[in-house]
Amino acid sequence: MTSSAGKSKKKGSINGLYRQAGLTGTIALILGIGFLLVPLLPGEFPVIVAVEILILGLFAMSFNLIYGYMGQISFGHAAFFGLGAYATALMFRAFQGATGEIGYLDFFLSLLSAVPVSAMGALVVGFFCVRLTGIYFALLSLAFGELVFYVVFSWYGFTGGDDGIQGLMPPPFFRDTVNYYYFTLAIVAIAVVVLWRITQSPFGYSLRMLRENQQRAAFLGINVRLCMLVNFVIAGTFAGVAGALWGPFQRSVSPVLLGWTQSGIPVFMTLIGGASFFGGPMVGSVIYTALNSYVTRFTMYWPLTIGVIILFLVLFVPGGILSVVDARMAAYRRRRESDADISAGSADGREGVQ
């Protein structure tokens, strides 16, 4: 009886949180508490994995601005992630000089340089991509992504070619894994809040209208191409911010960051978590990155593992993990309300008999 009462109380508290904050608020609270407590786990490995989750989660959330909110899919989104990483790395190399050390101001300036570089890259690519929709949008984004990849891969004198840029040592304070983790958590948290405000603004609802029916949106006076272009630039900019955090964390960058395989990562994360939910890509990042870190310790068949997971989701859970959670919570809430109505009706009946 005590165990049953405890479970009921726990479910009731979760249901109350779900009713007050919605699924997005509930997921945000759970993830926020979890991320804050990660450094308390034994060893350095969980913190390293958590940094990857945060960076790739932001990358996936930027992708979902295009996919989940605008209704288009970009197979070249890693180009902006890579541009942000290389912009930071090149600034690092310029500031380091012969000493190999970089100051704190130079470090922050290097990170900030990713914003205009990735935004400008997204503006150029988006100018052409937004003229198309559907599969043509996807293929054109892939073509531009591979073009940027080839330029970075071949330009040995500037980008280091296939060797990339090594030795990206941040200032002493950020060389500590926990310190860099909390720094990354702060940046990603700010970025997520900004993304949330964007999706809840009139512009965000215009994107939803474009996703549902572009022709109707045009009839209502929305400049479809301009709206798509602005969203494309915003998404590319936040992908660049994620890339900027990646370089100092890994101490190096390489052309792989701009390749089509890297572009597939946010797609997988979004499908796993759920494109229809704001926090879906971050949840997908937690599952994808944690599984990757665990599975690759025991086997080399990670692509087979993620392939089976994606196949299962597409066939049985097309809305992602959060769609199942949302449906379960909604059903539980309806059942509680129904039970409360029945109890109230029974009480009224007894009063009438008396």
CB-based contact 286:53 (threshold 8 Å): yes
Whole-model pTM: value is 0.88
Determine the pLDDT at residue 27: 85
Task: Spell out a b/e string for 229-256, using b for 16 or more CB atoms within 10 Å of the CB, else e.
Answer: bbbbbbbbbbbbbbbbbbbbbbebbbbe
Determine the pLDDT at residue 11: 52
264 by Cβ neighbours in 10 Å (0-12 / 13-18 / 19+) ranks as middle
Determine the pLDDT at residue 2: 47
CB-based contact 70:231 (threshold 8 Å): yes
Determine the pLDDT at residue 341: 60
| Residue 278 CB neighbours (<10 A) | 25
Determine the pLDDT at residue 23: 75
Q: How many residues in total does the chain contain?
A: 354
CA-wise closest residue to 328 among 6, 4, 15: 15
Q: Quick one: fold of 24-319?
A: ABC transporter involved in vitamin B12 uptake, BtuC (1.10.3470)
Rounded to whole angstroms, the Cα distance separating 246 from 120 reads: 19
The single-letter DSSP state of residue 67 is: I
Q: How far is CA 99 from CA 92, 105, 147, 158, in A?
A: 12, 16, 34, 20
| Residue 328 CB neighbours (<10 A) | 10
Determine the pLDDT at residue 126: 95
Determine the pLDDT at residue 309: 83
CB-based contact 59:240 (threshold 8 Å): no
| Angle of CA points 228, 121, 67, to nearest 5° | 40
Per-residue pLDDT of the chain in tens (354 residues, 90 and over written 9): 444 444 444 555 555 555 555 677 888 888 999 999 999 999 899 999 999 999 999 999 999 999 999 999 999 999 999 999 999 999 998 888 767 788 899 999 999 999 999 999 999 999 999 999 999 999 999 999 999 999 999 998 898 888 899 988 999 999 999 999 999 999 999 999 999 999 999 999 999 999 999 999 999 889 999 999 999 999 999 999 999 999 999 999 999 999 998 999 999 999 999 998 999 999 999 999 988 888 877 777 778 888 888 888 878 888 888 888 888 877 777 777 666 666 666 655 555 555
Determine the pLDDT at residue 347: 57
Side-chain-facing half-sphere of 99: CA atoms under 13 Å: 8
Determine the pLDDT at residue 84: 95
